[in-house]
């Protein structure tokens, strides 16, 4: 394929966003608007130029990508002027693909079709047919051939009836583009240099304008305010949800599901309403996620049940685990196979061994827990001394009675029994009862009392 340069126009302030940061840094799903465009451009083009103006330093700092060529546009004098800023860095023997930093859902397949047309005619234009074309430049055709683009404010009454509109996206032989740009003027109602004027110039020199009409209008929709951003977010999520369901994922209501990242899943998985997945999430076979859960950067095994209102982030959930409701699994936690993490339980930076149970109202942090451990209601690990975090180790088969505090660093032995209501500050031996309260007449031999 001929050498392709992407020129992404991202210099606008986006005042209708009513936001401090530049419009192209607004987020759709898991990426900024400009990030979506860059993904497609970098996959197709050998060089990517981004024209920035308002907040340009913010935009550069956000991406920190050495492969991007940043070009400044100090004055916003129109799209033609913006493209001119990139041309000194572009060879004539190439294709220039003009994209927009606030048009995030453009597909690579569409751009491939468009650039392929340039070799035939030198100029290829992407258009779309809208039921309501108000505000867009109209495509003027004669004998089905594109003759010009007329902006809304410059269009006649007859031209305003045309429903085929310019998307702004075009691919042009770079040598031709340089020649046309040098002839632009600002003799229009806006007093700007319109990139679209090069179409009439090309026609005037005998060029036939190649045309690609995009079918999905969301693919070429721009974002100017928060309403349009939300509209495209839903379109993006609806498209993802449809793809997932076609691949076998059961979504109880695809309109109430968000995936803001990458999702992989096995067979017979079900996700209920208002679940949000972020980052990289993988789900095994026959796993169910109940309503109102947020799961971020997590690997979930087979036959897992996640009950409502649970938050899981940067964790690994083993096969057969049972999580929630109202559970919080914090980063660097590894939940073993067949573990139960019950209601109002928080686990942080801990490994929970196979078959262990933390059923109610507990906090377990910086802990290595063995297999078949039972943690009673209200148990907490006191892992922070005000300066440093310390580790708690709990051996296989241990039973921690309700309302117990384990003051780290501390080791609870295998098959140890910790009496309810204890505050354990010293290591507890294997196979023995340990508690910290007054002796009772029913206590038997082998008890170690911390008092």
Give the global pTM. 0.88
pLDDT of 1: 41
Cα–Cα distance for residue pair 61/63, rounded to 1 Å: 6
Which listed residue (36, 81, 360, 450) is catalytic?
Answer: 360
Rg of the chain over Cα atoms, rounded to whole angstroms, equals 31
178 is in an annotated binding site: no
CA 444 centroid distance within chain: 59
CA 183 centroid distance within chain: 42
11 is in an annotated binding site: yes
pLDDT of 443: 47
Q: Which two tokens stand for residue 164?
A: 């085929």
Cα–Cα distance for residue pair 44/216, rounded to 1 Å: 20
DSSP string, 15-32: GGG--SS-GGGSEETTEE
Structural domains for the chain: 4-220 (3.90.550.10), 233-449 (2.160.10.10)
208 is in an annotated binding site: no
Cα–Cα distance for residue pair 10/374, rounded to 1 Å: 57
19 is in an annotated binding site: no
Catalytic residue status for 360: yes
Q: Which two tokens stand for residue 293?
A: 């859960």
pLDDT of 446: 53
Q: Which two tokens stand for residue 396?
A: 């296989």
101 is in an annotated binding site: yes
* Other CB atoms within 10 A of residue 296 CB: 18
320 is in an annotated binding site: no
CA 36 centroid distance within chain: 10
Residue 186, exposed/middle/buried by CB under 10 A (0-12, 13-18, 19+)? middle
pLDDT of 151: 86
Q: Which two tokens stand for residue 86?
A: 């990139």
User: What is the chain's pLDDT, residue by residue, as a tens digit (451 residues)?
Assistant: 479 999 999 998 788 999 888 999 999 999 999 999 999 999 999 999 999 988 899 999 999 888 999 999 988 889 999 999 999 999 999 999 999 999 999 999 999 999 999 988 899 999 999 999 998 999 999 999 999 899 888 899 999 999 999 999 999 999 999 999 999 988 877 778 989 899 989 999 889 999 999 999 999 999 999 999 999 999 999 999 999 999 999 999 999 999 999 999 999 999 999 999 999 999 999 999 999 999 999 999 999 999 999 999 999 999 999 999 999 999 999 999 999 999 999 999 999 999 999 999 999 999 999 999 999 999 999 999 999 999 999 999 999 999 999 999 999 999 999 999 999 999 999 999 999 876 655 545 555 555 4
pLDDT of 119: 83
9 is in an annotated binding site: yes
């Amino acid at each position: 394929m001929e050498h392709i340069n992407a020129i992404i126009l991202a210099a606008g302030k986006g005042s209708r966003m009513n936001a401090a940061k530049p419009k192209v840094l607004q987020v759709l799903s898991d990426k900024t608007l400009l990030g979506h465009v860059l993904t497609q451009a970098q996959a197709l083009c050998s060089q990517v130029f981004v024209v920035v103006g308002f907040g340009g330093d913010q935009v550069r700092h956000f991406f920190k990508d050495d492969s991007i060529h940043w070009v400044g546009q100090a004055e916003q004098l129109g799209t033609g002027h913006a493209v001119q800023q990139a041309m000194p860095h572009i060879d004539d023997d190439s294709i220039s693909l003009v994209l927009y930093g606030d048009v995030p859902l453009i597909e690579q397949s569409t751009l491939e079709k468009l650039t392929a047309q340039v070799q035939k005619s030198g100029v290829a234009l992407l258009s779309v047919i809208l039921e309501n074309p108000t505000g867009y430049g109209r495509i003027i055709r004669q004998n089905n051939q594109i003759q010009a683009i007329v902006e809304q404010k410059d269009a006649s009454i007859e031209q305003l009836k045309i429903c085929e509109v310019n998307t702004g996206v075009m691919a042009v032989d770079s040598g031709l583009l340089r020649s046309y740009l040098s002839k632009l003027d600002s003799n229009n109602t806006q007093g700007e240099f319109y990139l679209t004027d090069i179409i009439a110039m090309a026609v005037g020199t005998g060029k036939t304008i190649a045309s690609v009409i995009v079918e999905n209008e969301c693919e070429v929709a721009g974002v100017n305010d928060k309403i349009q951003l939300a509209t495209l977010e839903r379109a993006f999520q609806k498209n993802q949800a449809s793809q997932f369901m076609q691949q076998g994922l059961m979504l109880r209501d695809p309109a109430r599901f968000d995936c803001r990242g990458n999702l992989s899943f096995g067979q017979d998985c079900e996700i209920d309403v208002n679940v949000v997945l972020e980052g990289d999430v993988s789900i095994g076979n026959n796993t169910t996620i109940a309503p109102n859960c947020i799961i971020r950067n997590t690997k979930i095994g087979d036959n897992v049940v996640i009950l409502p209102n649970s938050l899981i982030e940067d964790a690994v959930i083993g096969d057969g685990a049972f999580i929630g409701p109202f559970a919080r699994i914090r980063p660097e936690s590894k939940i073993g196979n067949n573990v139960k993490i019950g209601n109002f339980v928080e686990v942080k930076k801990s490994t929970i061994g196979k078959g262990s149970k933390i059923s109610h109202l507990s906090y377990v942090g910086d802990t290595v827990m063995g297999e078949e451990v039972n943690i009673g209601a209200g148990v907490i690990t006191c892992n922070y001394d005000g300066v440093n975090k310390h580790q708690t180790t709990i051996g296989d088969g241990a039973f921690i009675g309700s309302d117990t505090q384990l003051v780290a660093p501390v080791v609870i032995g295998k098959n140890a029994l910790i009496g309810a209501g204890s505050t354990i500050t010293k290591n507890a031996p294997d196979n023995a009862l340990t508690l910290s309260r007054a002796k009772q007449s029913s206590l038997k031999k082998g008890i170690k009392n911390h008092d």
